[in-house]
Amino acid sequence: MSYIVNDPDDFAAESTLGFIAAHRGLVRRVNGGVARASATPAGEVAVVIGGGSGHYPAFAGLVGPGLAHAAAMGNVFASPSAQQIYSVARSVATEAGVLFSYGNYAGDALNFDQAQERLRAEGIPTATVRVTDDIYSASLADRAKRRGIAGDLAVFRAAAWASAQGMGLAEVEALAARANERTRSVGVAFSGCTLPGATAPLFTVPDGMMAVGMGIHGEPGIDVVPLPSAGEIADLLVTRLLEERPDDLGDGASARVGVIVNGLGSVKSEELFLLYHSVAGLITQAGLEIVDPEVGEYATSFEMAGVSLTLIWLDDVLEQAWSSPAYAPAYRKGVVDLADRIADENAAEGETAEDDAIQPAATVDAQRAGKDVARALSAIRAMIDREVDELGRLDAIAGDGDHGIGMQRGVRAADAAAQAAADSDAGPGTVLARAGDAWADKAGGTSGALWGLGLRAAAKVLGDATAPDGRTASEAVAAARDAVQTSGKAQIGDKTMVDALVPFAETLAERIAGGDDLATAWEAAAAVSMKAARATADLLPRMGRARPHMEKSLGTPDPGAVSLALAMAAGASAWNDGTTEEKR
């Protein structure tokens, strides 16, 4: 648990402010995260990393010469939003472009990809290397689906070194990808962690046991075994890593490896050294030569007890990168010449200007419809506030447990933005678009990005000219469904929110076509959606974070499908709210 906290909602933001104050001169605050204090030299590719907060020194502590140019920082255990990533990248980008690198998690991928599209549309070249070092998170055949853990460091170092050599974007990308291909990690956990302000742990490991392969957000591992001795743990980790030795190393007598022993949070340095002692012996016995070992904390999860071991199978170029100097808040090596750093003129950059002023809708009807939309969002917010723990519980069974808090952050921000827009007499399109932007910006996670996209797509159909009739409302829902499916690529049966959204959209369209008014049609569609959401309990997931642990989710409905159906049910109560009825 966290002992030092004000309002838990502000934990990540307040901690970031303190971090920046403690490292002023090295890093500066930018919208959405932190950047090096000095401007990116002209012609240098900017390496932008990022992810959820709660993993220090990933990611803010790894910003500085020899490491990243900037880090986008999401809320606790939640991906940064596309908007955050975009602003962070903009603040350090040069004409040479931006390399994004981050651990492979569905929410991060979705948000970074959106930011990448926006940058490209503005003519800033970008490329992406997702880190997939965690061997236990998927099979070798499915390497691209593996998650990223402490091996991030090796990939970031390669990218940063290449960019500092003046390489172009394609070369920086290629070297980072090569580092990723040759970096493998395995981890074990002895306890879970409790998020700031929470009263119960997000996940746990039974007393006296060790979870083999458990992820840094508590994603279930492959096995739970009685806690072995340090020597046995070292043996397990090294043996598993040596099974995945890259093929192109020849007889291996001369193979050289970088090594990272990473503590997850509450394993002490002395324990890590003890483990390294055994690990180093085993690696050397296997005929490998260790280069610049790292023993400490590189990717953590609050007070989670656990360790991971990473091997980086070096070649000449990767070795240069791995051994090169660096000077970041949480990672220092060799001697970096800091004298020629140019302070960034934008260093004092504050938050961007508030949203531009809202134009009131032209007609009274449209203004009233804007208020209806805002009321629906308030009803959804109240529903999510009630269900937040249950949604977290559902997500913790096979996912990472953040669905409740992510939805809550998203819907609270969306509700506030919608009320503000409705108070300014905005039409329904503007109210919903503001809500969608706020949702995506604050929620984080896969579902947050998809909700943001869906609401914005629906908003476009609604527009601000008139109050939508039933048909327009149903077309707006269809547009949201299309947006969610186009970006998330999930089909019916993949055990995602799509399983609740598609039947909702279909039933709504059918009922409206059959002559029902919006309130009646909506309620019927919400009931069908809820049934479909419950029925996802029988499905095996094929998308998103839950995928590597398919069987664990059997018997439990998909959290994103349940929250969507609950939201639609809450929305129905808003349309039914007397005042609305007579206008339809």
Describe the strand order of the beta sheet including 126-131 as a list of residue ranges. 27-30, 33-36, 70-76, 46-53, 98-103, 126-131
Whether the link from the prior residue into 57 is cis, omega within 30° of 0, is yes
Give the active site residue among 69, 217, 403, 549.
217
| Beta-bridge partner residues of 71 | 34, 49
Distance of CA 478 to the CA centre of its chain: 26
Asked if 306 is part of the footprint of ligand ADP (rule: CB under 6 A), the reply reads no
The nearest distance, CB 275 to ligand ADP, in angstroms, is 30
Asked if 496 is part of the footprint of ligand ADP (rule: CB under 6 A), the reply reads yes
The nearest distance, CB 137 to Mg ion, in angstroms, is 15
Token duo for residue 82? 């596309």
Taking residues 60 to 99 in sequence order and writing x for each that binds ligand ADP by CB under 6 A, - otherwise, the string is: ----------------------------------------
Token duo for residue 243? 């099974």
Asked if 173 is part of the footprint of Mg ion (rule: CB under 5 A), the reply reads no
Residues 380-419 that bind ligand ADP (CB under 6 A): 395, 399-400, 402-403, 406
Say if residues 368 and 467 touch (Cβ distance below 8 Å). yes
Please write down the long-range contacts of 271-280, taking CB distance under 8 Å and 24 or more positions apart.
271/230, 271/307, 272/296, 272/307, 274/230, 275/230, 275/233, 275/234, 275/307, 275/309, 278/230, 278/231, 278/233, 278/234, 278/235, 279/234, 279/237, 279/238, 279/309
Asked if 559 is part of the footprint of ligand ADP (rule: CB under 6 A), the reply reads yes
Residue 496 contact partner, candidates Mg ion, ligand ADP, none, CB within 5 to 8 A by sort of partner: ligand ADP
The nearest distance, CB 500 to Mg ion, in angstroms, is 16
Q: Which residues contact 390 (CB under 8 A, 6 or more apart)?
A: 404
Say if residues 22 and 34 touch (Cβ distance below 8 Å). no
Active site residue 217: yes
Using alpha carbons only, give the angle 367, 368, 371 rounded to the nearest 5 degrees: 95
Tell me whether residue 508 or residue 561 sits nearer to ligand ADP (CB atom). Answer: 561
Residues 538-557 that bind ligand ADP (CB under 6 A): 543-545
Residue 160 contact partner, candidates Mg ion, ligand ADP, none, CB within 5 to 8 A by sort of partner: none
Distance CA 371, CA 424 (A): 10
**Binding region for Mg ion (CB under 5 A) out of 155-163, 208-216, 262-270, 401-409:** 401-409
| Among positions 16, 185, 191, 447, the unique one binding ligand ADP when judged by CB under 6 A | 447
Tell me whether residue 63 or residue 189 sits nearer to Mg ion (CB atom). Answer: 189
| Among positions 173, 395, 415, 464, the unique one binding Mg ion when judged by CB under 5 A | 395
Distance CA 238, CA 188 (A): 12
The nearest distance, CB 563 to ligand ADP, in angstroms, is 8
Tell me whether residue 379 or residue 490 sits nearer to Mg ion (CB atom). Answer: 490
Distance CA 309, CA 283 (A): 11
Distance CA 368, CA 466 (A): 9
Distance CA 490, CA 246 (A): 33
Tell me whether residue 489 or residue 583 sits nearer to ligand ADP (CB atom). Answer: 489
Tell me whether residue 64 or residue 399 sits nearer to ligand ADP (CB atom). Answer: 399
| Among positions 65, 80, 488, 503, the unique one binding ligand ADP when judged by CB under 6 A | 488
Asked if 403 is part of the footprint of Mg ion (rule: CB under 5 A), the reply reads yes
| Among positions 65, 220, 399, 404, the unique one binding Mg ion when judged by CB under 5 A | 399
Q: Which residues contact 313 (CB under 8 A, 6 or more apart)?
A: 182, 183, 184, 245, 246, 249, 255, 257
Residues that bind Mg ion (CB under 5 A): 395, 399-400, 402-403
Annotated catalytic residues are 217
Residues that bind ligand ADP (CB under 6 A): 106-107, 395, 399-400, 402-403, 406, 445-448, 450, 484, 488-490, 496-498, 543-545, 558-561
